[in-house]
């Protein structure tokens, strides 16, 4: 390495001059490193924002079926069951989507989802059991911490909105004739992701299909002490599903005990 020395200056002066140059280079290097780090931080923010936007787009781009505004699931023999999220939706199901070939399910308690089993009039008893547990889970029995509840089903011509002397209150229905009861139905749901969609199904159905459909991750939901918002965050993290609002809509009113499961098959 060659070092140039000004012979007109003393050794001390030459040393000071090189030391000052060294300090300037160190300062310049620190400035460059700061600029590089700032650029890295900005790029990371842009990348994170881009991923967030892409995630939201992906959620929006998944096609929604007409029945997905309700609670819904497909039974183990592929019949569609749809349930009201509130009194308004219960009314809509009865007036628009309940036909002569369907069955009307309701828990034997005030404050419950109306669940319509499409093409259900000839359904087997085990299928009706699945729908009964779905109806039971989306009833006030969950919030009241009842472990079991009776659920009944009736046909189209047994359900009315009129008493003969006038109509009855919103979300209520007049049931005539003999009801087909499913008694002491336990409450419980499983949350699964199928075809990129998160959905709830009754536990008794899930136990039939989990190995057949090779579901790797799932959530079992039971009554417990965990708040709804905390349960939704836990589910979101475990299933890597970012739409917490959608998870909240799937959960019944009340508190929860969450079982996080990995299916090893």
- Whether 225 is covered by a domain: the verdict is yes
**Cα 143 from Cα 113, distance rounded (Å):** 13
User: Are residues 168 and 77 located together in one domain of the fold?
Assistant: yes
pTM confidence score: 0.75
Q: Which of 186, 217, 244 is the last residue of a domain?
A: 186
User: Are residues 178 and 199 located together in one domain of the fold?
Assistant: no
User: Are residues 126 and 177 located together in one domain of the fold?
Assistant: yes
Residue % of the chain over a pLDDT of 70: 78
Is 178's pLDDT higher than 80?
yes
User: Are residues 76 and 57 located together in one domain of the fold?
Assistant: no
Average pLDDT score over residue span 228-252: 95
**Cα 230 from Cα 121, distance rounded (Å):** 39
User: Are residues 141 and 177 located together in one domain of the fold?
Assistant: yes
Could you tell me the two tokens for 215?
A: 């579901």
Containing structural domain, residue 54? 10-61
- Whether 200 is covered by a domain: the verdict is yes
Q: Which of 155, 171, 186 is the last residue of a domain?
A: 186
Given a contact cutoff of 8 angstroms between Cβ atoms, the answer to whether 153 and 105 are in contact is: yes
Model confidence band, residue 53 (pLDDT cutoffs 50, 70, 90): low
Q: What is the pLDDT of residues 189-214, one digit of tens each?
A: 999 987 778 999 999 999 888 776 66
User: Are residues 176 and 193 located together in one domain of the fold?
Assistant: no
- Whether 1 is covered by a domain: the verdict is no
**Cα 183 from Cα 165, distance rounded (Å):** 32
- Residue 40 has what pLDDT? 75
User: Are residues 138 and 207 located together in one domain of the fold?
Assistant: no
- Whether 53 is covered by a domain: the verdict is yes
Q: Which of 150, 169, 186 is the last residue of a domain?
A: 186
Number of residues that make up the chain: 265
**Cα 137 from Cα 147, distance rounded (Å):** 10
- Whether 152 is covered by a domain: the verdict is yes
User: Are residues 37 and 138 located together in one domain of the fold?
Assistant: no
Average pLDDT score over residue span 53-82: 81
User: Are residues 35 and 51 located together in one domain of the fold?
Assistant: yes
Average pLDDT score over residue span 182-195: 93
User: Are residues 30 and 80 located together in one domain of the fold?
Assistant: no
- Residue 204 has what pLDDT? 95
Model confidence band, residue 161 (pLDDT cutoffs 50, 70, 90): confident
Q: What is the pLDDT of residues 9-27, one digit of tens each?
A: 676 765 666 566 666 766 7
- Overall number of domains in the chain: 3
Coil/strand/helix, residue 190 = strand
- Residue 265 has what pLDDT? 40
**Cα 160 from Cα 175, distance rounded (Å):** 7
User: Are residues 181 and 194 located together in one domain of the fold?
Assistant: no
């Amino acid at each position: 390495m060659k070092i140039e020395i000004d012979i007109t200056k003393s050794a001390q002066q030459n040393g000071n001059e090189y030391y000052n140059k060294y300090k300037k280079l160190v300062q310049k290097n620190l400035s460059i490193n700061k600029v590089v780090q700032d650029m890295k931080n900005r790029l990371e923010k842009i990348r994170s924002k881009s991923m967030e936007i892409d995630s939201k787009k992906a959620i929006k781009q998944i096609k929604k079926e007409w029945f997905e505004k309700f609670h819904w699931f497909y039974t183990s023999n592929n019949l569609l069951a749809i349930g009201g999220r509130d009194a308004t939706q219960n009314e809509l199901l009865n007036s628009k989507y309940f036909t002569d070939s369907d069955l009307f399910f309701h828990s034997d308690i005030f404050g419950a989802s109306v669940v319509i089993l499409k093409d259900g009039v000839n359904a087997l008893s085990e299928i009706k059991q699945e729908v009964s547990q779905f109806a039971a889970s989306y009833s006030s029995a969950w919030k009241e911490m009842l472990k079991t509840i009776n659920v009944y089903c009736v046909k189209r011509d047994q359900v009315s909105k009129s008493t003969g002397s006038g109509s009855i209150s919103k979300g209520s229905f007049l049931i005539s004739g003999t009801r087909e009861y499913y008694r002491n139905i336990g409450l419980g749901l499983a949350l699964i992701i199928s075809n990129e969609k998160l959905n709830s199904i009754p536990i008794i159905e899930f136990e039939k299909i989990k190995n057949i459909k090779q579901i790797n991750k799932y959530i079992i939901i039971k009554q417990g002490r965990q708040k709804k918002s905390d349960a939704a965050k836990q589910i979101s993290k475990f299933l890597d599903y970012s739409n917490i609002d959608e998870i909240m809509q799937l959960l019944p009113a009340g508190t929860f005990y969450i079982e996080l499961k990995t299916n090893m098959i």
